Chains A and B, each alone.
Chain A
Amino acid sequence: MNVVILGCGRTGALLSMQLSQAGHKVTVIEQTPENLRRLGKDYPVRIVLGNGLDLDILEKSGIRDCDAFFAMTRGDNTNIFAAEIVKRNFEVARIAVKVADPSRADAYRKMGFFTINAAALLAGLLGDWLTGSEYKPINSYNVLSKELNG
């Protein structure tokens, strides 16, 4: 598959390596050149330098011909807005959004985005690890405490 990954932080870099090793065609959008060192030397990843909220940069990344878009920067709002831009301007079949703030992640999940919240996922997995329960599908870890929900 053709995929576009926005952000070459820890998550974006790891994801792009795994997907390219699995045989997918990966393009990474990143505005800070130093972050690209995370990719090492041997990964056949296409790189577009620039701001992923810029429609010209998205166009350059091949967003029109991609099967999936991953918004993986460290900025929640950047990821959400990038996903909205891609959803409303380009026809991309699948969009995944990383949102660190659990309540914001919850709000956008309700609006129909595939939203990943690392905190909720980790907390759920660690709970299962502690009790020796089987690990469950992703969605079952998206439960919020009332406190976090604002």
Chain B
Amino acid sequence: MYLILVGGGNVGIQLAKRLIAKGHEVLLLEKDGRTAGKLANLIGDENVMMGDGCELYTQKHAGFNRADVVVAVTGEDEDNFVTCQLAKEVWNVQRVVARVNDPSHEPTFRAAGIDDTVSSTGIIFSLIDQQISSDEFIPVGHLHKGHVEVVETVISHRSRLAGKVLREIELPNGSFVVYLLRDGVGIPITGETEFQVGDTVVALVPTARADDLRQVMVGGVVNS
């Protein structure tokens, strides 16, 4: 796989290191000459190119036309947007990923066909938000471009799962309990699995039904 990363800040360099370790062909683009020099010392000359990743000239020389993935991770949404849009529209790159700092910009990225966006502001916000509304129902991640949520909870006395067998419990449509951790040991889930207070349970739920699942798993009065 040939991956081009644009933006040699903290995110860019950490990503580059990991991808190189995985054996991928990686090129990190950085427009500041001094920063590019330091990056070359860290991850090797062949993996760094000095240039503005928003310029067609640079993109041509970086080989955007043969890139499998272009990842734009500068601190500026406008730069990440232009890099990804040109990658798609001019060079036909199949997969583009953009870092988005202002979550309200995400719809504009999506509307332009830049589907893979990562917003650290959004992630941190949702963690804080969930912690405030209930510290017992923790979003662990997203699947399927955000349509499915992975959530984790520790069963308390208030939970409707406590002391029940899985097949007795009515879960919201499309949600699945996928993992149970008891005293540090993973236990396979079947219809006969009985939940006990203190169990850690991981479930998948369509994002639209996350609140319904929260009612079941956390129980009691939900302050959302």
Contacts and interface: CB of A to CB of B under 8 A. Distances in A.
Interface stretch (A17-25, A79-87, A131-139): A79-87
Contacts of B76: 77
Contact of A88 (B77, B78, B79, B112): B112
B89 A107 contact: yes
B108 A149 contact: no
Contact of B77 (A53, A76, A149, A150): A53
A73 to B, nearest CB: 10
**Most B C-beta atoms less than 10 A away, residue of A53, A77, A111, A149:** A77
B77 A103 contact: no
B137 interface: no
Interface size for chain A: under 10, 10 to 19, 20 to 34, or 35 or more residues?
20 to 34
Contact of B56 (A78, A103, A111): A103
B82 interface: yes
Contacts of A77: 54, 76, 78-79, 81-82
Interface in A68-108: 75-78, 80-82, 84-85, 88-89, 101, 103-104, 107
A26 B107 CA distance: 28
23 contacts: A53-B78, A53-B102, A53-B105, A54-B104, A77-B54, A77-B78, A78-B78, A80-B78, A80-B81, A81-B78, A81-B82, A84-B85, A85-B105, A88-B107, A88-B108, A101-B55, A103-B57, A104-B54, A104-B55, A104-B56, A111-B85, A150-B56, A150-B57
Interface of B: 54-60, 76-79, 81-82, 85-86, 89-90, 102, 104-105, 107-108, 111-112
Given A53-B77, A84-B81, A104-B55, 15 more contacts: A53-B105, A54-B102, A54-B104, A75-B78, A76-B54, A77-B54, A77-B79, A77-B81, A88-B108, A88-B112, A103-B56, A103-B57, A111-B89, A150-B57, A150-B58
